[in-house]
Amino acid sequence: MLRWEGYCLDLVSGKGAVKPPSWGFFHALKRGPDVRYLSLMLGKVIKDSNGSTVGRLEDMAVMAGARFPLVRGLVAMSGRSRSRQCFFIPWADVEGWSREGFVVDHIDESREAEPGDILMSRDLLDRQIVDMDGYKIVRVNDIRMARVGDGLRVLGADVGFLSILRRLAPGRVFDRLLGFYGGVPRERIVPWNLMSPVDPIPYDVRLKIGYREFLAVHPSDVADIIEQLDVGKRAKVLALLDDPKAAEVLTQILPGVRSSVAREMGERRLSGLLEIMPPDEAADILGTLPREKARSLLSLMGIEEASVVTLLLGFDPFTAGGRMTTEFVSISNSMKAEETLTYLRKVGTEAETIYYIYVVDGDGHLSGVLSLRDLLRAAPDEVVSDIMLRDVITAQVLEDQELVAERLSHYNLLAIPVVDDEHVLQGIVTVDDAIDVMLEEATEDIAELSGVSPEDEMTIMGDALDPRRWAGTMLTLLGGLLGTALFGAFRNSFAAALALVYFVPLALRAAHDASIWSLAVAVRELGYGEFRMPVSGRILLREYAFSLAAALLISVLSFLAGLVFTESYGTALAGAAGLFVGVLLAGVLGLVLPMALKRIRPDPAVGGRLLGVMVMTVSIISFLTVSGLIVRSMG
Amino acid sequence: MYAAVAGPGIVTALAGNGASGITTYSVIGSRFGLSLVWLLTICTVSLAVFQEMSARMGAVTGKGLASLIRERFGLRLTFFAMMVLLVANVAITIAEFAGVAASLELFGLSKYITVPAIAIFIWVVVTKGSFSRVEKVFLAICLIQVSYLISGFMVKPDWGQVALAMVKPEVSTNPAFVLAAIAIVGTTVAPWMQFFVQSNVVDKGIDMAEYKYERMDVITGSILSNVISLFIIICTAFTLFPVQVVETAEQAAVALSPLAGSGAKWLFGFGLFGASMLAASVVPLSTSYAVCEAFGWESGIGRKLSEAPIFFGIYSLSILLGVVVVLIPGVSLVRIMLLAQELNGILLPVILIFMLTIVNDPQIMGEHVNGPAANAIAWITACGAFVLGLVLFVTGMFAL
């Protein structure tokens, strides 16, 4: 499980100088390997264990009436269009699956799906269902599933806007663009238990089951479902779970969502959950809550737990202290190997890792470390200070998290002890925390590569023979030729009103200008990684509004100028209208393209020019189309 | 019994003959005389067949056409179909606002005042849910179209010539002629009419038991509307052709002068106004219903704006576009109306093929799939429209 809770404070309150990582990146990781969509699986190749293709995935069967059912089997389609044949493959025969398709170890072409099963593509996909939550009728755009162990569990129907886009353009670019927008806010999932079909299905299916069925589902799946629910319902769902499970679910919910859940929950229950979850998680949750509420929650917690959490709350989230957990195993240096093992058995369930046992002296100073392997190999009565490794790699409490993560990776450690100025052991940072840190940093790096940062071009300029520089120049040339070709294609419009020519330089310059502005905004937002949906919605709106205003202004002014040059009312109007559309589109593109490019990651020098050419092409086409049409229609 | 079921077919037919229809026929009559009347005969049969198919699909499945397309073809093809429908319908909406502008300009009212005012009126009336009452008023005004029948007899045409023209095909590869042919097809069998009649049948809850009355309704509607179309062509052909090609509404009104003399302008203006008002409110509405139905977005004029934002968004944007385009100074209103019909004719085959696939799918239609005769006519229409579009494209390429 990935954690980056240090950021939630700012995601929620919007205060402080802390920058949250890109949500899209987070989602791509959290959901990428585990969440599956029916639409992306249909049509995938099914192979047998020898690697020869037996058919393509036509449908998936689930048991009717089951709650968040497991996929029972695949319906495969074999043969060409004339001699097509469908047969059923029980899930037990599926050996494995990946993005490319399925591998099965046993084929029986005469098998058919159980008549009572729901075939999801046939019976649900594209059909209308009643969303029992609010009793709205919606159309199923996709079916969302999650990998659970070796099986696939159906979570619900995706009825949101994104799912339409995903099915329209399942290509990598759009898929990533979607991921970039950050799934949660725009995805609308109707949980399986709240679905009810509108159309009479040939057999009697009752999909509707109670909320209690959440009990049977894996905590991260529950977290997933909770994230999709309306604000008011989340806490209610959590209330149905018993404490250990609720605590686990709570730690797995997205930080932004989680703090809203926490705020809705009763204090007594919440403090109970905080008490049983790992202290670093508890600290992260408390950090996102208003001060008053956090304080009263702490006062409700047990003294011991509260003091640990309070300690953790005191650290800057970007330091080793902020990342660390206090649940580690430490022993005194006089203990014997056998004693240590016994002790490990007792405390092992609580600790975050038991592979490293830290040895401290009477004052808590870290004196050495012992791996589980060393311990197992040691003779029972050996004293740990004799077998421990004294030269421990440590991190300082106030050290930057990135350095700590790098050190972990450099020394191939599973955890690194965190010590204070006096070398007293305070906690450990585990490898999964380090992965989080590195991913966040990687997100930043990608933004720098997005192809529009001026510094990148500077470095290239130093070398006149750099091939990338030539590639960029050639791209500009090609773009110019493309523009010429476009003018050729539209020469009829010009024949109708040669005076439109007056507008061409203006159209090109203005479109370029408008796109540069929104480009700058897009790059800035990307760079800071704050482009998550609620914020970016506002930014998008603001930028679109700006583009609109700029386009309006430019077209009105150029209309007046056009009147002077062309002395024709109609031509000036046609030119101005063309300009309006061209500039507007350029502005919008300037905002949208970097997001798309960021995912493709072209070379910086090429990326920027590619943008330029795209914007130019679109603005020329739209200018010529619109003004050409108007000129012609006025004939 | 008939009265309870009657309606969808007639309303669709009259709205289908909206302002752009009247104008298209006037222009064609004045420009090509009777030489395209044969196509109208074919289109009448096609229209009746397609309207019957739509009504039958509605009665059998209880679902709208957009819904059936989505469930039969999946998301991508549905998206394609909806884009086609959207383009075709927005074009018609623009044309209908052009009709509003043209008709009121006959009375000396500037379009810069009337069109925005009418647009707001339509928007408010439809979204506030009082449309069903107003619809009847528009329908009544539409009946003015019947005056073409009277006028048609008064110009004393050569009926033998008319009868011959109705059955004897005349063909030309002149792009203008092909465009006119496409416009006739696009006007008589517009894509939106199929969606509209089907959702009307579904809304009225007509099932297969009542279906025979509904069938009478749609067939009557189809024939009625095309008889009127025929008479518009007759009137303009015998009053204007070959002297004057209609380029303004004022000229088109001349076709009614045998009946109304100097009042022709008023009669024509009123008829055009009623027809365009009906279509200008019905077409955008039908568009947003269809699109929302296909994608599962909330729809219905009974909803609040915040509950069905996309529904109202599409509706409002179509109207807005209609207003904006019509208000472009110096734009030729008649040309806009013609362009819209040509565009519809070109896009028509796409929708027809979707319909034909569905109506022949026994899993959807059960025993009510198309008979061979209906299939033959329908496929000929679809292919014919496709070939016309292709011919236009090819001749257009050579004309470049």
Q: Count how many domains chain B has.
A: 1
User: Is pLDDT of B122 > 60?
Assistant: yes
Range with lowest mean pLDDT among A19-28, A169-178, A422-431: A19-28
Average pLDDT across chain B, whole number:
84
pLDDT value for A187: 63
Q: How far apart are CA A202 and CA A206, in angstroms?
A: 12
Do A55 and A20 have their domain in common? no
Cβ(B267)–Cβ(B151) below 8 Å: no
pLDDT of amino acid A7: 30
Q: Among A494-498, A564-568, B116-120, which range has the highest average pLDDT?
A: B116-120
User: Predicted confidence band at A460 (pLDDT cuts at 50, 70, 90)?
Assistant: very low
What token pair was written down for A91?
Answer: 């899930």
pLDDT-derived band at A201, boundaries 50, 70, 90? very low
pLDDT for the residue numbered B239:
82
As a whole number, mean pLDDT of residues B338-363 equals: 88
**Nearest of B50, B45, B94 to residue B287 by alpha carbon:** B94
- Do residues A504 and A549 both lie within one domain? yes
Both structure tokens of B157 = 């045409």
Position A204 in a domain: no
Mean pLDDT value of segment A183-202: 61
CB of B89 closer than 8 Å to CB of B284: yes
Determine the residue of chain B that is closest to A170 in CA distance. Answer: B76
- Residue A391: phi and psi, rounded to 5, are -85, 80
The amino acid at residue A284 is D
* CATH code of B380's domain: 1.20.1740.10
Both A516 and A427 in one domain: the answer is: no
What average pLDDT does range A277-292 have in this prediction?
80
CA atoms within 13 A on the CB side of A515: 29
SS3 at position A157: strand
Phi, psi torsion values for A490, nearest 5 degrees: -105, 20
Angle between helices A467-489 and A454-461 (to 10 degrees): 120
Site of tokens 């949208």: A592
Note whether A432 and A499 are same-domain residues: no
Question: Mean pLDDT over residues A234-250, rounded?
Answer: 78
Nearest to B296 among A39, A159, A168 (CB): A159
- How far apart CA A357 and CA A342 sit, in angstroms, is 13
Q: For residues B230-247, give the mean pLDDT.
A: 81
In which domain, by residue range, is B158 found?
A: 2-399
Which residues on chain A are in Cβ contact (under 8 Å) with B296?
Answer: 128, 137-141, 159
- Comparing CB atoms, the residue among A126, A492, A573 nearest residue B71 is A126
Contact B229, B236 (CB under 8 A): no
> Could you give the C-alpha distances from B173 to A383, B186, B343, B395, in angstroms and in order?
103, 18, 18, 7
Cβ contact A415:A429 at 8 Å: yes
C-alpha distances (whole Å) from A98 to each of A41, A49, A59, B25, B28 are: 9, 14, 16, 60, 61
A6 has a pLDDT exceeding 80: no
* Alpha-carbon distances, residue B166 vs A426, A486, B227, B229 (angstroms): 97, 45, 11, 12
Kind and range of the H or E element at A357? Answer: strand A356-360
**Sheet bearing A395-396, strands edge to edge:** A395-396, A415-419, A425-430
pLDDT greater than 80 at residue A529: no
User: Which residues are registered as beta bridge partners of A53?
Assistant: A47
User: Which chain A residues touch B336 with a CB distance below 8 Å?
Assistant: 633
Cβ-defined contact of A125 to B74 (cutoff 8 Å): yes
Query: Structural domain tally of chain A?
Result: 4
Asked whether the predicted pLDDT for residue B81 surpasses 90, the reply is: yes
Determine the distance in angstroms separating the CA of B74 from the nearest CA of chain A, rounded to an integer: 6
* Choice among A421-430, A574-583, A620-629 with the minimum mean pLDDT: A620-629
Q: DSSP label at B287?
A: H
- Going by C-alpha positions, the residue among B177, B153, B338 that lies closest to residue B234 is B153
- pLDDT of A604 over the 70 cut: no
- Residue B385: is its pLDDT beyond 50? yes
pLDDT above 80 (res B204): no
Report whether A64 contacts A209 (CB < 8 A). Answer: no
B69-80 pLDDT tens trace: 998 998 889 999
| 3-state DSSP assignment of residue A581 | helix
Decide the pairing of beta strands A128-131 and A136-139. Answer: antiparallel
What was the ipTM of the complex prediction? 0.75
- Which chain B residues are closer than 8 Å to A128 by Cβ? 67, 296
CATH code assigned at A335: 3.10.580.10
Å between A302 CA and nearest CA of chain B? 47
Residue of A nearest to B330 (CA): A634
pLDDT in tens, A123-142: 888 887 766 655 566 788 88
* pLDDT confidence band for B154 (50 / 70 / 90): confident
User: What is the pairing mode between strands A136-139 and A329-332?
Assistant: unpaired
Q: Are residues A412 and A458 in the same domain?
A: no
> φ, ψ for residue B352 (rounded to 5)?
-60, -40
Q: Which residue has the higher pLDDT, B135 or B42?
A: B42
Distance CA A86, CA B326 (A): 55
User: Is residue A156 domain-shared with residue A42, that is, in the same domain?
Assistant: yes
Q: Does residue A167 carry a pLDDT above 50? A: yes
The secondary structure of residue B255, as a DSSP letter, is G
Residue of B nearest to A631 (CA): B331
Alpha-helical regions (H) of A63-195:
161-168, 172-181, 183-186
Of the three residues A151, A166, A197, the one that is the final residue of a domain is A197
Instruction: Give A573's contacts in chain B (Cβ within 8 Å).
Output: 328-330
pLDDT at A107: 81
Asked if residue A289 belongs to a domain, the reply is yes
Residue A449 lies in a domain: no
Q: pLDDT, tens digit, for every residue of B317-337?
A: 999 999 999 998 888 888 888
Residue-wise pLDDT for B250-270, tens only, equals 777 777 777 777 777 888 888
Among A20-24, A540-544, A551-555, A602-606, top mean pLDDT goes to A551-555
Whether residue B331 and residue A136 make contact (CB cut-off 8 A), yes or no, is no
CATH (domain of A472): 1.10.357.20
User: Per-residue pLDDT for A457 more than 60?
Assistant: no
Alpha-carbon distance A386 to A377, whole Å? 13
pLDDT of B214 = 84
Q: For residues A190 and A158, give the distance between their C-alpha atoms in angstroms, rounded to a whole number.
A: 6
In whole angstroms, give the CA distance from residue A370 to residue A349: 18
**CB-based contacts of B261, cutoff 8 Å, min separation 6:** none
8 A C-beta contact, residue A464 and residue A425: no
pLDDT in tens, B17-60: 778 888 888 888 888 888 899 999 988 999 999 999 999 998 88
| Poorest-pLDDT segment among A72-76, A539-543, B212-216, B290-294 | A539-543
CA of B112 to nearest chain A CA: how many angstroms apart? 16
A203 lies in a domain? no
Can the peptide bond before residue B242 be classed as cis, meaning omega within 30 degrees of 0?
A: yes
pLDDT tens figures, A298-354:
888 877 777 777 777 777 777 888 888 888 888 888 888 888 888 888 887 778 888
**Residue A320 near residue A395 (C-beta atoms within 8 A):** yes
Of A285, A314, A343, the residue at which a domain comes to its end is A314
Considering A216-220, A368-372, A533-537, the range whose residues carry the highest mean pLDDT is A368-372
CA-nearest residue of chain A to B297? A138
State the pLDDT confidence band at B119, using cuts at 50, 70 and 90: very high
Q: Is the pLDDT at B221 greater than 80, yes or no?
A: yes
Residue A202 lies in a domain: no
Comparing C-alpha atoms, which of A608, A591, A596, A597 is closest to residue A458?
Answer: A608
Which helix or strand (DSSP H or E) is residue A472 part of?
A: helix A467-489
Answer whether A613's CB lies under 8 Å from A476's CB: yes
Q: Parallel, antiparallel, or unpaired: how do β-strands A366-371 and A356-360 relate?
A: antiparallel
Q: Is the domain of A71 the same as that of A178?
A: yes
- CB A141 to CB B296 under 8 A? yes
Look at chain A and count its residues.
635
Please state which of the ranges A180-189, A452-461, A563-572, B25-34 shows the lowest mean pLDDT. A452-461
Strands A415-419 and A395-396: parallel
- Whether residues A550 and A459 share a domain: the answer is yes
Which residue numbers of A have CB closer than 8 Å to B's CBs? 39, 125-128, 136-141, 159, 164, 167-168, 492, 569-570, 573, 577, 630, 633-635
| Helix ranges restricted to H, A490-568 | 491-496, 504-528, 533-566
Q: Are B75 and B299 in contact (CB under 8 A)?
A: no
A424 and A493 in a single domain? The answer is: no
pLDDT band at A608 (very low <50, low <70, confident <90, very high): low
Cβ distance of B296 and A633 shorter than 8 Å: no
A-B contacts (CB, under 8 Å): 53
Tokens of B388: 């016309």
Q: Say which residues have a Cβ less than 8 Å from residue A50's Cβ, sequence separation at least 6.
A: none
A144-148, A397-401, B103-107, B346-350: which range is least confident on average? A144-148
Residue A87 lies in a domain: yes
Residue with tokens 């029992």: A132
Spatial distance between the Cα atoms of A46 and A105, rounded to a whole number of angstroms: 10
Query: Comparing C-alpha atoms, which of A511, A491, A525 is closest to residue A587?
Result: A511
Chain A residues inside the 8 Å CB shell of B396: none
Q: What tokens were used for B186?
A: 């696009």
- How far is residue A570's CA from residue A574's CA, in Å, rounded to a whole number? 6
DSSP secondary structure of B235-278: HHHHHTTTT----SHHHHHGGGHHHHGGGHHHHHHHHHHHHHHH
How far, in Å, CA of A214 to CA of A45, rounded? 33
Q: Does residue A205 carry a pLDDT above 70?
A: no
**Residues found in chain B:** 400
Q: Comparing A260-274, A492-506, A522-536, B82-96, which segment has the lowest mean pLDDT?
A: A522-536
Residue of A nearest to B331 (CA): A634
Q: Is residue A54 part of a domain?
A: yes
Residue A212's pLDDT is: 42
The residue type at B18: G
Within-domain flag for A614 = yes
Share of chain A above pLDDT 70, in %: 70
Of B71, B79, B330, the CB nearest to A570: B330
Mutate to test the interface with B, among A195, A555, A568, A633 (most CBs of B within 10 A): A633
pLDDT of residue A184: 44
Same domain, A540 and A558: yes
Do A134 and A255 lie in a common domain? no
Question: CB-based burial of residue B335 (10 Å sphere; 0-12 exposed, 13-18 middle, 19+ buried)?
Answer: middle
Please say whether the beta carbons of B310 and B296 come within 8 A: no
Q: What angle do CA B270, B276, B282 make, to 5 degrees?
A: 140
Question: Is the CB of residue B226 less than 8 Å from the CB of residue B44?
Answer: yes
Per-residue pLDDT of A571-586, as tens digits, reads 788 888 888 888 888 8
B263: left (phi over 0), alpha (psi -120 to 50) or beta: alpha
| The pair of three-digit structure tokens given for residue B266, joined into one six-digit string | 């008023």
| Spacing of C-alpha B77 from chain mean position | 24
* Same domain for A618 and A561: yes
Mutate to test the interface with A, among B67, B69, B75 (most CBs of A within 10 A): B75
Concatenating the DSSP letter of every residue in B325-343 gives HHTSTT--HHHHHHHHHHH
Domain that holds residue A353: 322-442
How far apart (Å, rounded) are the C-alpha atoms in residues A465 and A462? Answer: 9
In sequence order, the 6+-apart residues with CB closer than 8 A to the CB of B131 are B125, B281, B285, B301
Residue B6 predicted with pLDDT over 60: no
Question: Is the Cβ–Cβ distance between A571 and A497 less than 8 Å?
Answer: yes
| The predicted structure's pLDDT at residue A277 | 85
Task: Report chain A's mean pLDDT, rounded to a whole number.
Answer: 73
| CATH value at residue A293 | 1.25.60.10
pLDDT at A117 over 50: yes
Q: Could you say which of A392, A417, A442 is where a domain stops?
A: A442
Asked whether residue A82 carries a pLDDT value surpassing 70, the answer given is: no
For residue B137, the model assigns a pLDDT of: 74
